[in-house]
């Protein structure tokens, strides 16, 4: 049983659950309903169905990834190998099918309880993407990295779309860019995309030996470690610019706690990671940059606690107006 638990990455699932819980209760419940005085579209029961559905799909993704990674893991992580060593591949695949089936069942329950067909199909779409990633896309130049990074942004966007009662794509785009909750979802979604992309490239560098053995065409294999370092640093600098822009906004509106929070919890760890990436010479040394990256992602999630006093809709609506004025001047 313990090996089945390891297979689904319980710590990663806990972080994902924490992300959705904080966004729901620190962003949506506390802020939108206080500031705009409307009741949650997602009832508590529906929210927890959504939460469990998301966790089931994510868990199934970890399992199918390990099934297809048996050959590479024998080279890259022989000590952590589970499938083929502790669990038969056929049993692992059955486990994957059960998790996927339950996740899809959760999607159909959401369709009936929320009457939002299009949004409720997102878990099914993610399930397909995760299978394609594990089976083929992860071996394709940058394709797998981009797919996983997109999947990392979807849980928050998914939850925001539900609670904003959006069922049409064009309406979703407008509201995500102009409303407090929607803009907050885009800010955290962008952070998730960039940090996940950085982490995925780092993981590809760490796994270069095993990936090369199965003729995968990952970025480090095709372009080399030095080019991979350059891409990682480029993405880190984009992330740094993004965070500095947010910090500048908080400074401009004299939100000192949020400003120092962004600087200490997000910018400082990123600067440390940049230094580590510049320092490394071999693939094995990237583990420290990877660890700091994980910490950076967790701290990013925890910054949602800054908005637990009901200020987020105001902050993000004002942020939209602030940068709109800057763009008009430019």
pLDDT at position 284 is: 75
pLDDT over 50 at 127, yes or no: yes
Q: What is the mean pLDDT of residues 31-39?
A: 56
Greater model confidence, 237 or 263: 237
pLDDT band at 26 (very low <50, low <70, confident <90, very high): confident
Distance CA 104, CA 137 (A): 22
Q: What is the mean pLDDT of residues 99-115?
A: 88
Q: What is the mean pLDDT of residues 319-330?
A: 51
Greater model confidence, 81 or 238: 238
pLDDT over 60 at 325, yes or no: no
pLDDT at position 227 is: 93
Cβ atoms within 10 A of the Cβ of 160, count? 27
Q: Into how many domains does the chain fold? A: 1
pLDDT at position 12 is: 92
- Judge whether 26 and 307 are in contact, CB under 8 Å: yes
pLDDT band at 158 (very low <50, low <70, confident <90, very high): confident
- Judge whether 266 and 303 are in contact, CB under 8 Å: yes
- Cβ within 8 Å of residue 272, ≥6 positions away: 292
pLDDT over 50 at 99, yes or no: yes
Distance CA 272, CA 253 (A): 27
Among 302, 299, 251, which Cα is nearest to 272's? 299
Q: Is 215 helix (H, G, I), strand (E, B) or coil?
A: coil
pLDDT tens figures, 241-289: 998 888 777 777 666 666 666 777 788 889 999 999 998 877 777 888 9
Place of tokens 């990392």: 152
Give residue 34's domain range: 2-329
- Angle, helix 312-329 to helix 225-252, in steps of 10 degrees: 100
Greater model confidence, 175 or 100: 100
**Residue spans of alpha helices (H) in 179-224:** 180-206, 208-213, 219-223
Distance CA 99, CA 294 (A): 25
The least confident of 147-156, 179-188, 202-211, 320-329 is 320-329
Greater model confidence, 44 or 151: 151
- Judge whether 178 and 320 are in contact, CB under 8 Å: yes
Cβ atoms within 10 A of the Cβ of 213, count? 13
Structure tokens at 164: 């904003």
Q: How many percent of the chain have pLDDT more than 90?
A: 33
Report how far apart the first and last C-alpha atoms of the chain are (Å, whole number). Answer: 60
Q: What is the mean pLDDT of residues 305-324?
A: 55
The least confident of 168-172, 225-229, 249-253 is 168-172
Q: What are the C-alpha distances in Å from 79 to residues 82, 86, 294?
A: 9, 12, 21
pLDDT over 90 at 324, yes or no: no
Burial class (CB in 10 A: 0-12, 13-18, 19+), 215: exposed
pLDDT tens figures, 50-86: 899 999 999 999 999 999 988 888 888 877 788 888 8
Which neighbouring-strand residues pair with 83?
87
Mean pLDDT of all residues in the chain? 81
Q: What is the mean pLDDT of residues 195-222?
A: 90
pLDDT over 70 at 316, yes or no: no
pLDDT at position 313 is: 46
pLDDT at position 169 is: 46
Distance CA 224, CA 75 (A): 19
pLDDT over 80 at 157, yes or no: yes
pLDDT band at 146 (very low <50, low <70, confident <90, very high): very high
Cβ atoms within 10 A of the Cβ of 252, count? 13
- Cβ within 8 Å of residue 22, ≥6 positions away: 301, 302, 304, 305
Distance CA 252, CA 255 (A): 8
């Amino acid at each position: 049983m313990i090996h089945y638990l390891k297979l689904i990455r319980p710590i990663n699932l806990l972080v994902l659950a924490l992300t959705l819980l904080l966004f729901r209760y620190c962003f949506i419940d506390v802020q939108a309903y206080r500031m705009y005085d409307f009741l949650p579209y997602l009832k508590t029961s529906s929210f927890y169905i959504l939460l469990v559905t998301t966790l089931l799909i994510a868990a199934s993704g970890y399992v199918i990834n390990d099934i297809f990674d048996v050959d590479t893991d024998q080279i890259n992580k022989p000590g952590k190998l589970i499938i083929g060593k502790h669990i038969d591949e056929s049993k692992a695949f059955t486990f994957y099918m059960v998790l996927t089936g339950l996740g899809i069942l959760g999607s159909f329950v959401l369709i009936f309880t929320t009457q939002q067909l299009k949004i409720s199909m997102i878990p099914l779409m993610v399930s397909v993407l995760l299978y394609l990633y594990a089976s083929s896309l992860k071996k394709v130049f940058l394709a797998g990295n981009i797919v996983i990074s997109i999947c990392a942004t979807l849980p928050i966007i998914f939850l925001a779309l539900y609670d904003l009662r959006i069922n049409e794509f064009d309406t979703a785009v407008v509201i995500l860019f102009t409303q407090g909750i929607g803009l907050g979802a885009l800010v955290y979604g962008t952070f998730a995309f960039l940090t996940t992309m950085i982490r995925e490239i780092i993981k590809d560098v760490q796994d270069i030996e095993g990936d090369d053995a199965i003729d995968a065409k990952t970025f480090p294999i095709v372009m080399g470690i030095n080019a991979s370092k350059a891409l990682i640093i480029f993405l880190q600098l984009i992330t740094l610019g993004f965070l500095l822009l947010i910090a500048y906004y908080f400074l401009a509106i004299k939100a000192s706690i949020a400003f120092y929070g962004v600087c200490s919890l997000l910018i400082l760890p990123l600067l440390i990671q940049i230094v580590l990436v510049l320092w490394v010479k071999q693939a094995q040394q990237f583990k420290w940059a990877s660890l700091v990256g994980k910490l950076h992602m967790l701290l990013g999630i925890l910054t949602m606690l800054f908005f637990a006093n009901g200020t987020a809709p105001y902050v993000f609506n004002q942020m939209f107006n602030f940068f709109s004025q800057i763009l008009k001047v430019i």
